[in-house]
Every structure is written in C-alpha cells, then in structure tokens.
A and B are shown apart, each in its own frame.
Chain A
C-alpha cells in the first residue's frame, strides 16, 4: 500500500507541466528561480514527511472520518472547506490549462466549451468511484504511461540539441535572491501528499522511510527536467518566449523511425490521460470533503448538484479566462497554496500529536 502514496506524489510531479510551472520557473530564471527551486526541495520533502507521519496515526481513515468526532464543528468545516476550495481550484486550473493546450494543438477549430464537456464526462465518471477504485485506476494509468514519459525524457536527455551550456548559464544565476513565486511553483511538485486527506483511506500500513528518499530523488529529477530541459532546447534567453515551454520542447524532438514522427503528439496523448487523472484525483478529494462537510447521509440529488456546480465553474472558467490571465492567476494561486499547505500541515501535525500523545 506504500506505493499508493508514491503514486499520488508522482502524479503531481507529472502534471506540473500543464499547470504552468515551467513557465513560472523559466520566467524567473535570472531572478531567483534556481535558488527558489533549491529551497523548495527541503520544504516539499519536510511537509511530505510531517503530514504523512501525522496521518499515519490514523490508518485507513480520511480526514473527514478523523475529524468526525471533533467538538469544534465550525473549525473542522473551515479546515475542510479551505482545503476543498484549494483542491477544486487545482483541478480547475489543470482542466482549463489543458483544454487550452488541446484547443491549440489538437483541435484548433473546436470550441473549448465543447472540448471540455468530454473531459467533464470522463472526470465525473471517475470521481464518483469509491476511493479505492480511483486508486486502482490511477495505478493502471500510471503504469500505462510511465514507459512513455521515460522514453520521452530519455530522448530529450540524449538529444544533440540539448545545450548544456544554456542550462549551466541559468545555473550561474544561483546566487540571486530567491523568488517567492518560483519557490511556490516548485513546491507544487511535492504537494501530491495533500491528496492523502482522502486517500489515506486506502493506506493501511505505516509509510516507510524509503518512500521519502524516492520522493526526494524523483523530485530533484522532476524539477530538473521541468525547469532545465526547455532551457536546454530553447536557450537561456529564448525559452521564456514560449507559452508552453515543455510542449514546445516535446515538439522539438523527432522520432526518425516511429510512424508518429512528432513527439508532440505522443506527449499530448500521454498527457490527456495524466491530466484526466490529476483532475479526477483533485476533484475526488474535493467531492469527498464536501460530502464530509455536510454530515448528512449522502443522496443522489445532492451528488448531482455538486457535479452541476463543478460543471458551471468549469464552463465559467473557459468562458472568462484566457491563457495569459490563467497563467498570472496560477502564479499567485501557487503562493496561496503554499501558505494553505504550510498552515494545514502545521495545525494538523500539532493536533495529531496532542491527540495521540
């Protein structure tokens, strides 16, 4: 069951390409992104450890169950509510970002509203599954896709067009004052652990220490690839000109012998399922928390109402947000998320210690 924890963290690491993180990091490449990333690594690992350690004291329970008997009902609601909103918006940003990518690269003539409906249909199918089944599905999706992403990363690293000098040039800006935005964006790679709020239900054993060691190495590698590979391909000065640095990077790879010559399309197909999974996981957490907030018995009608609300938000997002605006909002949202995470983790850790001590 330990592996389930890893899946959740890895999923967030994979999805950060869609959720504007390379863009934010590359924007601040001369202005403190490198230091920001370096600071983000210990923060991310630390939060991972503290939170999962605290939750581990309640094996097989999600946060709503743990807090169900708390006396301070309003505090619990506030706590769950804020996480729920953060997590719903995380899914929403991914959804909007990816819809935007799809409408640019795959279906340019199709209205975004139309494109988003099929996504919503798939997402709603998944988020209503029991938590355990969502996990099973995540496992399948990851196993189907990991060889592909491994192959693409291997291709980028061995490409003759990857300019290590450009990467090192950005590296020489190590001693700039760290940028908060870049740091917040980099911690997002590690924040998959927050899904444990609900997914702790399927983790019945103690998390072993090697999980965190793997996360540390994967995280470093992941941040390196998200940040530096686009720079290596598009230059230290040129990378920031691209709206989606990683997507353009994948388009810069050529598979000479494959029937699909442009890696871009392999990459997008791979991300179609990864983003579907990421949104579903986030929204599943949001949905379950919502169910936990209203303590009444769940009925079908309420369920449908929540889904309708989700749909409305998604539609409104598509109609009112353009890419540039979404990008800007995301940068600030990341800072907010980091704040919420730090507060949540600290409070919960202290509470769990007092509770079990």
Chain B
C-alpha cells in the first residue's frame, strides 16, 4: 500500500527513461500519438500509432474509465485486472508490440501494454482457388485471429494446440503453428519447427513462400506442403494429425506434411456419396497419368513403335500426319508450347476477356494449324486432352509440377521410344517415393500413419 502511495506522486527515473526512449524512437512518425490525460487525483500517458491502433478501443477501455473511476488506486486495480492489458516486460519487446498497434500506457510507476490492435482484414472471403460444388463455400480471411477463430470453430477440441513464432527479418510476420496434441506425430512436429527456425528470409508475406524455401534446400520438383484456403480442409487435416501453419496477412494456410494423396484429394470427396467420390478419385488419377504420358506416348508410337496400335488406328495416324513437314516430337513441342502460352495468358488476362482469349487461341489456332498442315488432327486432340486432364488435379501447385514432368517424359520418349515412356513414368514414380515431406514418404501405396525412418 505504501509503495503505491509513493509511486502515485511521481514515476521513478527508470520509467521516465524508458518513456523518453520509446518516444524518441517512435515520434518521428507522422501517425504516432502521445497523449496525456489528467484528473485531480491522477494522470496517465498513452503512446500509440493511430493508423494501426483502434482509437475507439482506447476511448472505451482507457479514457472513459479513467474519468469515471475517481481514485487512483481503483484505476490501477482496473488496469491490472483488464484482460487487454499486459504488464511491461522489457523495452525491446514493448517497441515491437508498439509497431504492431498496441498502446503503451504510463501510469504512476507502471508501464502497461494495452492491446488496441486494429484488425482490418477480418472479412471472410469466398473460396476462389479450391472451389467445390457442395460443402462450405467460405475460405479463410487475411486476419490471423479471425482465421484461428474459424478453425477453432470447426475444430472444437481441447487438445488443439497453438504456438506462434515469427518469420522474416524485416516483415516479422507472425506464424501460428496449430496441431492436435493427441494425434500429431511428435517427430514431424519437431521437423516442422526446425524447418521454420531455419527459414532465412527478409519479407515473409504468405505461406506459399515456404514452398519455395523448402525447394531451395533440396530442389524438389514437387511441393511437399499443401497451401489451402479452405478452413474445412484445415480442420480435416488437423484431425488427421497434421501440422497447420497460419500466416498473418495471408488467407492461405499451410498443411504439413503433405503427400501425394492429399494433393489428389478435393474437399468434395467428403461431401459426395461413396461411389461418386471413388469415381472422382479414379478420374483424377487417370487424368493425372494421361497428362503425364500422352505427349510422350504419341511420339513413341508414331516414331518408334507404330505396331503398338491396331492397324486401323496406325493408318489413320499416318494419314493425318502426311502433310506435316517435321518429325513428331517437334510437332508435339510446338503444340504443347502454344498450349502453355494459352494457359499462362488466360491466368494473367483480366477475368472479363480471359475466356475469349482461350476460345480464340484454342479453337481457332488449333483449327487453323491443322488446315495449314502444321500439325496433325490427332495431335490437336492429344494436346487438348493433356491440357484439360492437367487441370483435373485439384491442387494447383501440384498440377504445375506435373506440367513440367511431362516434358521430361516427352524427351525420354524422343530418345528411347516406348521404353523411354514407361521407364520415364516409373522413374517419376520412384522420384516421388524418394521425396519426403517432413519425414513422410511422398508416395506410398498404403499411407501408414506414423512411419519412423
């Protein structure tokens, strides 16, 4: 009691120096605010940055009570018991909090950190990348607390553990690590944490960057983590014992470890009846294999092993190729290249003219190319089949990788014919088996839950 009375009069030198320090560091900014409030018995000082702090919160929880509560002791009690108020720890941390939007309160001999962060991006967005016909339609928002709320809402388990860390030398982005304590593989969790600690980057904006960072360490062709915008997918993966990373300011969550099976799964599988989802799964795998080997197979069949297909088919391929002036692999490369350009262009183009460009490119170009005798009819069918089946793969990051692999198989087919296609495909499978995602093999037939190698 005595102590408080003493400190009521004048803050100590230490507090004063901290105050001056902070003020000096922050006050160059236009939007920094230093405010003093006085009543008869007490006075308080507040320091905050108004662009990232919510001034109404300060008004409601600091200013109003300050004038309503008359005695100095009572107001101190109020501050100390308020849930938004944290005691001061050290100067460095305080400064860091300050630039994230908290208000620093200097009251008597105490320094308080008052959480007045404003959350401007907390609106829940609609899914745009991983759309489904049925099931939830809303995705994550760009605000970390909102996202955490969304996930907690879908995953009401006491075992859900949330830890946080920061990544990025400049951006100091807050990253939350979510996992279910009961289900998670501790070994995987350890690896994830090690990985996050090893990340060395200046600006960290979104989870997708992690894909790239992990690639630089082992040059993987495939993403080994899943980036998703769907809270339902996050919840399902949490229940499967995976680790989820939420990044502040990004409406995408990162799921670790991710294996081939996850990339081929769409949330729709859960929302459909059994046979429908089995059918869709099979369809996806068939599409995946088709887009991988079809161009290679075409080259192998037309240039090395025309005996593979029955005579009628061989003859019609030969017939459609008679006008084409160059070898089959050049034909395939030209058409595939055109197709890649079209796909790229239609992503970049504004939404309004995107479809037009694709139609013009796809239909008219294809038609004209065959008319001019530059490519064969069958080639057009193959290229469009490849293009379409490629997009059957539900996760974008993965289908982009598949786009690259088909060129490798095409190259092998050009050099080795049918052997090249088959071995190329199996080498690709072997590569996927070799790849691991935080200790989990990327591709296995039976995905055992926790495999310790």
Docked Cα-Cα span, A260 to B431, in Å, equals: 29
Select from chain B the residue with minimum beta-carbon distance to A134.
B433
B422's nearest neighbour on chain A, judged by CB, is A272
Stretch from A123-131, A174-182, A345-353 at the B interface = A123-131
Q: Mark B291-316, 1 if CB is under 8 A from A, else 0.
A: 00000000000001101111101000
Distance, CA A126 to CA B431, complexed state (A): 8
Q: Is the CB of B444 within 8 A of A118?
A: no
Interface size class of B (residues with CB under 8 A): 20 to 34
Task: List, in ascending order, chain B residues with CB within 8 A of A139's CB.
Answer: 444-446
B417 at interface, CB cutoff 8 A = yes
A121–B415 alpha-carbon span in the complex (Å) = 14
Mostly, the B contact residues are helix
Contacts of B412 in A (CB 8 A): 118
Q: Does B430 contact A (CB under 8 A)?
A: yes
- With contacts A265-B308, A269-B422 taken as known, whether A110 is within 8 angstroms of B416 at the C-beta atoms is yes
User: Counting CB contacts under 8 A, is B443 at the interface?
Assistant: yes
A129 touches B433 (CB 8 A): yes
1/0 per residue, CB under 8 A from B, across A13-47: the answer is: 00000000000000000000000000000000000
- Complex Cα gap A121–B408 (Å): 14
Q: Which of the residues B417, B434, B445 comes within 8 Å of A129, measured between beta carbons?
A: B434
Query: In the assembled complex, which residues on chain A have CB atoms less than 8 Å from the CB atom of B417?
Result: 106-107, 110
Q: CB of B337 within 8 A of chain A?
A: no
Chain B nearest CB, measured from A162 CB (Å): 23
Given A136-B441, A272-B422, the answer on whether A126 and B430 have CB atoms closer than 8 Å is yes
B426 engages A273 (CB within 8 Å): yes
B10 at interface, CB cutoff 8 A: no
Find chain B residues with CB under 8 A from A49 CB: none
> In the bound complex, how far is the Cα of B420 from the Cα of A261, in angstroms?
21
Q: How far is the CA of A271 from the CA of B433 in the complex (A)?
A: 20
B453 close to A (CB within 8 Å): yes
Cβ–Cβ contact A119 & B308, under 8 A: no
A106 close to B441 (CB less than 8 A) = no
CA distance A137 to B451 in the complex (A): 15
Beta-carbon nearest neighbor of B416 in chain A: A118
A130 to B444, CA, bound (A): 14
Query: Counting CB contacts under 8 A, is B63 at the interface?
Result: no
B453 touches A130 (CB 8 A): yes
Which residues of B are interface residues toward A (Cβ below 8 A)?
Answer: 304-305, 307-311, 313, 412, 415-420, 422-423, 426-427, 429-431, 433-434, 441, 443-446, 451, 453
Which 7 interchain pairs have the tightest Cβ spacing?
Answer: A261-B310, A136-B444, A272-B422, A137-B433, A139-B445, A122-B427, A122-B423
Of the A-B pairs whose beta carbons lie under 8 Å apart in the complex, a sample of 17, sorted by A's number, is: A102-B419, A107-B418, A118-B415, A118-B420, A122-B426, A129-B430, A132-B453, A133-B434, A136-B433, A136-B444, A140-B444, A143-B445, A260-B308, A265-B307, A265-B308, A268-B418, A276-B423
